[in-house]
Structure 1
Amino acid sequence: MLDKRAFYINGAWSAPETAQDFEVINPSTEEPCAVISLGDQADTDRAVAAARAAFDNWMFTPKAARLALMEKLAAIYESRKGEMAEAISLEMGAPIDMALAAQAEAGSEHMADAINTLRAYEFDRMLGDHAPNDRILMEPIGVVGLITPWNWPMNQVVLKVLPAMAAGCTMVLKPSEIAPLSSMLFAEMVDAAGFPAGVFNLVNGDGIGVGSQLSAHPDIDMISFTGSTRAGAAITKSAADTVKRVTLELGGKGANIIFADADEKAVARGVRQCMGNTGQSCNAPTRMLVARDIYDAAVKTAITVVEGMAVAQAQEKGPHLGPVVSEVQFNKIQGLIQAGIDEGARLVAGGVGRPAGLNRGYFVRPTVFADVDPDMTIAREEIFGPVLSMIPFDSEAQALSIANDTPYGLTDYVQTGDAARARRMARRLRAGMVEINGNSRGAGAPFGGTRQSGNGREGGVWGLEEFLEVKSVSGWAE
């Protein structure tokens, strides 16, 4: 079993002030694979003090020097990407091929985007031709607390750490205690790249402990959090007393609206998107709204796709689904599948219990419900597992009404051959992101939601500017 009790503070690995051992569980086997320590207030204070001491120098480090360090970090990451995939697969159950091609690769892609964004960004600009002696200075907000989830570890760590570095902020990262190994490997890479001591710090802990300590800390200027809506609300309240900036990327209940003129692969594509990462993605299209003319055929297609999906242990190669991350998640998902049955949704694939042949590990049967009423629990709650709810609709207006009838607003999807209708739907859907006809959003596109899916954006120039303050200066003379 791996011993990962140390924290990375002020450019060195150090023991926690007080030992609080916590076992990391391999979700494929339900056995411990590593032991970490959960930090306490003294550890948080040490890390924040290190970041605060490093801020003034890092803030005024020239852009070219920050770029060079970030480029070195990216090169180190590429050279160790296989190790990163193995860590992610071990800690949160992503099948090893998917862990390399998608999970670890997401870190590479976001590093490249952050570097390209910084290279082109102007931190010092004139207000306008009408005011040639007014200057706008974009300055780092200060010391930031970064709290990241277990479901896409490097996707979220890199989306926060690299823009914060680029902005000139110093930081304390608290990764999920359920899946901390990838972040600790990332800290090794930061150390090897040679960032100044205190720019990046890592303290493991849970939300009640280190998470709350960062949120309320008077020397933290900003919190960037990805996780549940419940935790996001608690962080916002905790941060209010110090009036720090809080950016939140929270839950979702994405609608995938499939019109009768959608392409023939639309239903199968939507099912696979819902089930990807074993359903553990906040932007998964978990509500499939289908035009009634093609609804019965769509249900048959969904059944065929799901019945063709394999489920296996994370270390096995191949395009299968792995386990969900933990016993807590497994039990939650089982309860929601049972709720769907009890409330009268038509179970057409999957169901409660583990897949055949898997009697250990947090494995869930890929599940499809048809004839789901929009008011049912499975249509309203974020399940965060491989469960699809299929809902028929009779008109564009009805589809839009069902799609928007949710407290969330992260990602919605539209499938239609009518370009004018696609644009019309994209404008009317209350979501931070809309994907049309299976087209992924481009590099640097902003990621984030509205309403209870959070606030703020990650990626590209929008993600960089979340970590910047705007200073307006008059009387500037060259």
Structure 2
Amino acid sequence: MSKVKMESYPAIIGGEKVNGKGTFEDLDPSTGQPFAEVARCGEAEINQAVEAAREAHEKTWRRTTPAERARVLHNIAELLRRDHEELARLESTDTGKPLTQTRADVAVAARYFEFYANTIESFYGDTIPTQQGVFAYTLREPFGVAAQIIPWNYPIQIGCRSVVPALATGNCCVMKPAEEAPLTPIKVGELALEAGLPPGVLNVVPGFGEEAGAPLSAHKGIDHLAFTGSLEVGQIVSRAAAENVIPVTLELGGKSPNVVFADADLDGAIPIVVNSIIQAAGQTCAAGSRLLVERRVHDEVLERVAERFKGIEIGPGLEDPDLGPIISEEQLERVDGYVQQGKGEAQLLAGGDRARGDRLGGGYFFEPTLFGGVSHSDRLAQEEVFGPVLVATPFDDPEEAAWMANATDYGLVAAVWTRDVSKAHHLAQEIRAGQVFVNTYGAGGGVELPFGGFKKSGHGREKGYEALYEYSQIKTVAIKYGK
């Protein structure tokens, strides 16, 4: 039987398509079958990409005006919108996410280019009043070569979230997408060249973590490093950055709570609570994976959530169901391991098993799962499962709710559901998280809203105007004049 010919996706280095030291197969998690061949980069390609970025930075990109950079960024946004459906379908096939979600991801990716194109021209330094006869001012300058290591759950959106402010501030980039879902970042690299981005300004180097990610994070030629992914890998990346004494932006795990008070609009809250854990099959650092409910409405809320879970449509991403597959067999087994342990520790209210059926074939599907009676100290309540698994715990008053919300090592996102404005403000101040939402969850991409974690959820901020500070360094100039 002849092998089906698959489309090939090269690396983008110095404006050229590069095959790397070989290729690897990219799997469709909805079927478990390979559908693309991707360039497999190693240390040689990483060196080549860093050199190309350095040359482009020194010769062209850092010398461009903000207006010139803005023009190119706008051009890329237009091409992303032109190819919107193609990119959404590619992202859906690569990640298994429902088409509705990947269409939104592509729209957000385009918005990153538009937002930073619009803001970079107003990103100024300051003048500083000082002693007589001295004129002092500050400049915001790029670091030089910025490296981005991108996860598989939101490849186009997080890729653009990390790369675009770096480009806007005059850095050149080497982006390493995850081996599980590298295709749309490669396409962004191709579209950037079509839009007029000079060769070498954005390089895309797909490959495995130990072969491409490790040498990139430890490379002495990079000046700034951004990583989004697990806590364990983030610690490795941090050590590599520390060795080279370069700044690092880390967005790591989360165990984010939805805190539901008895006075909340439950009809409005429950659909959003459910969506916050099934979005991307729960494979997002910002997933609403904990449900803290005031005891007076605890049973009602769990009953309604469980009923919704039972009605969720599961299927291949391209069929646009409510819930797509887990990214890989390895991740599916990890999720299942947490759930099977949880069955002996808490009350299973919905789901709890791998989803099977003729329609699902050999894909990596897992039922949306709800546990009640989970202690805040249980493994299910403390560790990031990264799947469609929601754990619920009751509380009695706002102080206990705030304590429970903070009772993990993570602090990325939280939501508070209440009609009481004073209570909302109080909880927003007490909860240690980078983003706190009230009567909503998430922000549809939230390009304008600074994003990042407290505690072991990471440090540094992406999105919004804050990202421009993250990707630039300040220089102070003082000039003495007169006698």
Residue identity opposite 2:201 in structure 1? V
Cα distance change of structure 1 residues 477 and 366 upon mapping to structure 2, 3 Å threshold: farther
Taking the aligned partners of 1:219 and 1:477, their CA distance within structure 2 comes to 38
Verify: 1:455 aligned to 2:456, yes or no. no
Structure 1 residues 291-323: Cα deviation after superposition (integer angstroms, max 9, x where no partner): 000011011111111111110111214x42111
| Conservation of the 8 A alpha-carbon contact between 1:311 and 1:321 | yes
Residue identity opposite 1:303 in structure 2? A
Taking the aligned partners of 1:331 and 1:186, their CA distance within structure 2 comes to 32
Residue identity opposite 2:315 in structure 1? A
Instruction: Give, in angstroms, the shift of residue 392 of structure 1.
Output: 0.5
Verify: 1:402 aligned to 2:404, yes or no. yes
**SS of 2:237 mapped into structure 1:** helix
| Conservation of the 8 A alpha-carbon contact between 1:433 and 1:448 | yes
Taking the aligned partners of 1:419 and 1:97, their CA distance within structure 2 comes to 33
Instruction: Give, in angstroms, the shift of residue 168 of structure 1.
Output: 0.1
Counterpart of 1:305 in structure 2 is: 308
Residue identity opposite 1:466 in structure 2? E
Alignment of 1:347-362 (within 5 A): 347-357=348-358, 358-362=360-364
Counterpart of 2:288 in structure 1 is: 285
Residue identity opposite 1:272 in structure 2? N
| Conservation of the 8 A alpha-carbon contact between 2:415 and 2:441 | no
| Conservation of the 8 A alpha-carbon contact between 1:261 and 1:417 | yes
Task: Pick from 253, 268, 272 the counterpart of residue 271 of structure 2.
Answer: 268
Counterpart of 1:375 in structure 2 is: 377
Instruction: Give, in angstroms, the shift of residue 278 of structure 1.
Output: 1.1
Counterpart of 2:12 in structure 1 is: 8
| Conservation of the 8 A alpha-carbon contact between 2:253 and 2:412 | yes
Instruction: Give, in angstroms, the shift of residue 430 of structure 1.
Output: 0.8
How many residue pairs get aligned? The number is 472
Residue identity opposite 1:33 in structure 2? F
**SS of 1:217 mapped into structure 2:** coil
RMSD between aligned residues: 1.7
Task: Pick from 182, 188, 192 the counterpart of residue 190 of structure 2.
Answer: 188
Structure 1 residues 48-95: Cα deviation after superposition (integer angstroms, max 9, x where no partner): 000011112211211111011111111111100111101101111011
Taking the aligned partners of 1:78 and 1:268, their CA distance within structure 2 comes to 29
Counterpart of 2:156 in structure 1 is: 154
Cα distance change of structure 1 residues 398 and 250 upon mapping to structure 2, 3 Å threshold: same
Alignment of 1:101-120 (within 5 A): 102-120=104-122
Taking the aligned partners of 2:63 and 2:296, their CA distance within structure 1 comes to 62
Write out the 4+ residue segments of structure 1 that deviate beyond 3 Å after TM superposition. 128-132, 355-359, 439-443
Taking the aligned partners of 1:449 and 1:461, their CA distance within structure 2 comes to 16
Instruction: Give, in angstroms, the shift of residue 98 of structure 1.
Output: 2.4
Structure 1 residues 321-360: Cα deviation after superposition (integer angstroms, max 9, x where no partner): 11111111111111111111022x1101001222455352
Instruction: Give, in angstroms, the shift of residue 117 of structure 1.
Output: 2.1
Taking the aligned partners of 1:356 and 1:425, their CA distance within structure 2 comes to 44
Taking the aligned partners of 1:439 and 1:219, their CA distance within structure 2 comes to 39
Verify: 1:133 aligned to 2:118, yes or no. no
Task: Pick from 464, 467, 470 the counterpart of residue 468 of structure 2.
Answer: 464
Residue identity opposite 1:73 in structure 2? I
Residue ranges of structure 2 left out of the alignment (5+ in a row): none
Taking the aligned partners of 1:113 and 1:466, their CA distance within structure 2 comes to 16
Instruction: Give, in angstroms, the shift of residue 103 of structure 1.
Output: 2.1
**SS of 2:244 mapped into structure 1:** coil
**SS of 2:153 mapped into structure 1:** coil
Taking the aligned partners of 2:262 and 2:165, their CA distance within structure 1 comes to 42
Instruction: Give, in angstroms, the shift of residue 110 of structure 1.
Output: 2.1
Taking the aligned partners of 2:421 and 2:327, their CA distance within structure 1 comes to 39
Residue identity opposite 1:92 in structure 2? T
Taking the aligned partners of 1:372 and 1:37, their CA distance within structure 2 comes to 44
Taking the aligned partners of 1:278 and 1:267, their CA distance within structure 2 comes to 17
Cα distance change of structure 1 residues 420 and 95 upon mapping to structure 2, 3 Å threshold: same
Instruction: Give, in angstroms, the shift of residue 7 of structure 1.
Output: 1.5
**SS of 1:312 mapped into structure 2:** coil
Structure 1 residues 257-297: Cα deviation after superposition (integer angstroms, max 9, x where no partner): 10111112213321221111211111111100000000110
Cα distance change of structure 1 residues 443 and 196 upon mapping to structure 2, 3 Å threshold: closer
Normalising by structure 1, we get a TM-score of 0.95
Structure 1 residues 183-202: Cα deviation after superposition (integer angstroms, max 9, x where no partner): 11111101101111111111
| Conservation of the 8 A alpha-carbon contact between 1:43 and 1:203 | yes
Instruction: Give, in angstroms, the shift of residue 109 of structure 1.
Output: 2.5
Taking the aligned partners of 1:315 and 1:50, their CA distance within structure 2 comes to 37
Counterpart of 2:347 in structure 1 is: 346
| Conservation of the 8 A alpha-carbon contact between 2:9 and 2:186 | no
Instruction: Give, in angstroms, the shift of residue 255 of structure 1.
Output: 1.0
Counterpart of 2:32 in structure 1 is: 30
Residue ranges of structure 1 left out of the alignment (5+ in a row): none
Instruction: Give, in angstroms, the shift of residue 127 of structure 1.
Output: 2.3
Taking the aligned partners of 2:183 and 2:176, their CA distance within structure 1 comes to 12
Instruction: Give, in angstroms, the shift of residue 382 of structure 1.
Output: 0.6
| Conservation of the 8 A alpha-carbon contact between 1:51 and 1:170 | yes
Instruction: Give, in angstroms, the shift of residue 34 of structure 1.
Output: 0.8
**SS of 1:284 mapped into structure 2:** coil
Instruction: Give, in angstroms, the shift of residue 181 of structure 1.
Output: 0.8
Residue identity opposite 1:300 in structure 2? E
Residue identity opposite 1:95 in structure 2? P
| Conservation of the 8 A alpha-carbon contact between 2:254 and 2:457 | yes
| Conservation of the 8 A alpha-carbon contact between 1:448 and 1:457 | yes
Counterpart of 1:76 in structure 2 is: 79
Alignment of 1:172-321 (within 5 A): 172-264=174-266, 265-317=268-320, 319-321=321-323
Percent same amino acid at aligned positions? 36
| Conservation of the 8 A alpha-carbon contact between 1:339 and 1:377 | no
Residue identity opposite 1:243 in structure 2? V
**SS of 2:315 mapped into structure 1:** coil
Counterpart of 1:42 in structure 2 is: 44
Cα distance change of structure 1 residues 165 and 476 upon mapping to structure 2, 3 Å threshold: farther
**SS of 1:43 mapped into structure 2:** helix
Cα distance change of structure 1 residues 129 and 421 upon mapping to structure 2, 3 Å threshold: farther
Taking the aligned partners of 1:98 and 1:249, their CA distance within structure 2 comes to 21
Normalising by structure 2, we get a TM-score of 0.94
Tell which deviates more after alignment, 222-231 or 125-134. 125-134
**SS of 1:23 mapped into structure 2:** strand
Taking the aligned partners of 2:430 and 2:387, their CA distance within structure 1 comes to 28
